[in-house]
Structure 1
């Protein structure tokens, strides 16, 4: 992502952007997302949903929105989202036939996702939910890099294999500094409609145990309910069709917890694009938290000595522009397989300068230099480690 991309990567009008994620398919993630969205709307919030599963979109069907119904355009040439149950929705399902696969390479998927967020006439939203495809691949990384996510929710079943893969999804979000808002355990026990006995088909309590082990909130358990399937297939989410059912009450409780969950990690506001020559776009500093995570950036500055960084735990450091340029890990500067530097230090001027700095999601900075180089991504972890390594050598 370039500096120009960073300046407008937030969804227009969206106060909070929450990713609904899962490590594997088949855990009911989209069903959870659809029902949470409707529950939030019923509670009075202005809610939008981006069906980010470009290859397997399902949100429109669950909300009773006609597939293959191309959305209209506003006077400002933005896509007007469909709406159902008080929720605004954009999805690939609106742009393709039911049985027509989306055969797209990564760059085209990225363009669609950016369009779904940036070029849709969302109006004023309290929450924008991003229903991600399962896994930890290109789409998840694109969203983490391109958009300032408030946080992510991980959906899993109590089954051991699902929980193990859910941990990978948790760790992936942590690596790109997306706050984990919590874990949801879906399909958590089946209550017999005749006798009332509960059978834990996929084991019990695994979601809560994973959340406790990782140190993130456990948002709740959603029980198995045949009505979830029936209402989803009919296009009427359970929270609207059977609001008094145990599963619907669980969805509403989880939605309320997320709605009241604050604004995510405290740090410099993203996105930003800062041109050093005239100072435009410089991010405002955030309050320093003496007990905050070491790799959460709260302030940026620049002077003749280099880039000045301040972290949430109060630590400050200064890194010279030439050191930053030599530390670039892009494919032009490092061997992609071995990680060994291929940039010749003799080709980097001693008086090289930083010209632009921009945010890359919540976890890194992009930088442009006076020699024209601007393809490197500097993670907060790597920046903090540069200073730590220098201090160890003193």
Structure 2
């Protein structure tokens, strides 16, 4: 899957959690297999670089290293009809991944862009817990269709899950819903349900934040055995309550196309020759700060928004508005860039998408490290097109 292959690009869904130990990878593996059973072509990127577990849950042998396809790309492994790439396939079982941020970013880019996925309908990204560098890298580098947040009903877990939801909202990744895992234990003898981690917390937080509640997955001792054996519960115990819950959640995600509207991403537009220019799209379903058109003329950029507003911003104003660490103090927000040194005739040379929420701009003075969020751009005081 290449960056220019947007027409055939799969829906990319991030499966996230605020904290570890909530069963996120188990949920990911079972949802993926349920989708594959329903006829979808499914892949999983095991984005938990430091603690990969997806291959083991799908019975994929990690001793054999990934092969190279004739086109020079990596061939993913496959288990239960699901294609997988994972750090576990590139290192020994007991070898820790001792990597700094830039190397983690490199591996994540490789796992998506340099793997010969073939035709896919859905690509699930099994994220590590938290709201750190990996989550931000994926949100910035790829056009995520949405994110799912997994939590237990425990109050502590729910509070941290709320932070994960807010993080995804800030980078404009649509929240597809909340999954409450380990929602209750049903005694196999008397069928009494015991709510070990409280009850109904996931549904309550989904309602509070205005997102969908995708369902509850009950505790099932068979989950442990099936995961250790490399056979997901939807295969090992297809009629169990947990397996039925996984299938229901998978069906909900398959039918959820997410919000519409907005430029098709990713794109990289070189203004000198016009290559890579994004096509405009209808505003149907787009939010007020959703960018739907992007044009350029001698006076600057012309941005069209989901609320019907058209705005012209000059290259010099955009250069001065840059909020990167070289232009603004990261702690105080004080401007470090002296506007007097910005040339009057500065030009924008290249524009590229940053996830679903921002633009990157390269200027004729060589500056190219700023990220301009749609919210920031929408709030800039440029000239309204109708007044120009």
Q: Which residue of 2 aligns with 1:310?
A: 304
What is the rounded CA distance, in whole Å, between the counterparts of 2:181 and 2:361 in structure 1? Answer: 42
Deviates more, 1:192-201 or 1:379-388: 379-388
What is the rounded CA distance, in whole Å, between the counterparts of 1:279 and 1:288 in structure 2? Answer: 23
Conservation of the 8 A alpha-carbon contact between 1:189 and 1:224: yes
Shift of 1:11: 8.7
1:184-228 Cα offsets, whole Å, 9 max, x none, are 000011111000111111111111111111111111110111011
Q: What CA RMSD, in Å, does the superposition of the two structures yield over aligned residues?
A: 1.8
What is the rounded CA distance, in whole Å, between the counterparts of 2:58 and 2:206 in structure 1? Answer: 30
Conservation of the 8 A alpha-carbon contact between 1:330 and 1:377: yes
SS at match of 1:387: coil
Q: Which residue of 1 aligns with 2:376?
A: 382
SS at match of 1:90: strand
1:104-130 Cα offsets, whole Å, 9 max, x none, are 000000000111101111000000000
Aligned length: 384
Deviates more, 1:349-358 or 1:9-18: 9-18
Match of 1:325 among 298, 304, 319: 319
What is the rounded CA distance, in whole Å, between the counterparts of 1:185 and 1:212 in structure 2? Answer: 13
Q: Which residue of 2 aligns with 1:4?
A: none
Residue 331 (structure 2) pairs with residue 354 (structure 1)? no
SS at match of 2:303: strand
What is the rounded CA distance, in whole Å, between the counterparts of 1:388 and 1:180 in structure 2? Answer: 31
What is the rounded CA distance, in whole Å, between the counterparts of 1:123 and 1:264 in structure 2? Answer: 26
1:329-348 matches, within 5 Å, as 329-348=323-342
1:133-152 matches, within 5 Å, as 133-152=128-147
What is the rounded CA distance, in whole Å, between the counterparts of 1:125 and 1:32 in structure 2? Answer: 20
1:274-313 matches, within 5 Å, as 274-289=269-284, 292-313=286-307
Does the C-alpha gap of structure 1 residues 71 and 335 become closer, same or farther in structure 2, counting only changes over 3 Å? same
Shift of 1:42: 0.5
Shift of 1:57: 0.2
Shift of 1:305: 2.0
Conservation of the 8 A alpha-carbon contact between 1:12 and 1:118: no
Does the C-alpha gap of structure 1 residues 366 and 24 become closer, same or farther in structure 2, counting only changes over 3 Å? same
Conservation of the 8 A alpha-carbon contact between 1:334 and 1:343: yes
Residue 87 (structure 2) pairs with residue 92 (structure 1)? yes
Conservation of the 8 A alpha-carbon contact between 1:180 and 1:216: yes
Q: Which residue of 2 aligns with 1:364?
A: 358
SS at match of 1:174: helix
Q: Which residue of 1 aligns with 2:100?
A: 105
1:8-52 Cα offsets, whole Å, 9 max, x none, are 287995421100000000000000000000000011100000000
SS at match of 1:101: coil
What is the rounded CA distance, in whole Å, between the counterparts of 2:290 and 2:322 in structure 1? Answer: 20
What is the rounded CA distance, in whole Å, between the counterparts of 2:4 and 2:227 in structure 1? Answer: 32
Residue 30 (structure 2) pairs with residue 35 (structure 1)? yes
What is the rounded CA distance, in whole Å, between the counterparts of 1:242 and 1:347 in structure 2? Answer: 68
Conservation of the 8 A alpha-carbon contact between 2:312 and 2:383: no
1:259-288 Cα offsets, whole Å, 9 max, x none, are 111154421000001111222211111212
Higher RCO (C-alpha under 8 Å, 6+ residues apart): 1
SS at match of 1:125: coil
Deviates more, 1:359-368 or 1:262-271: 262-271
Conservation of the 8 A alpha-carbon contact between 1:12 and 1:122: no
Q: Which residue of 2 aligns with 1:50?
A: 45
Q: Which residue of 2 aligns with 1:209?
A: 204
Deviates more, 1:299-308 or 1:128-137: 299-308
Q: Which residue of 1 aligns with 2:240?
A: 245
Conservation of the 8 A alpha-carbon contact between 2:260 and 2:286: no
Q: Name structure 1 gaps, 5 residues minimum.
A: 1-6
Conservation of the 8 A alpha-carbon contact between 2:323 and 2:370: yes
Does the C-alpha gap of structure 1 residues 173 and 388 become closer, same or farther in structure 2, counting only changes over 3 Å? farther
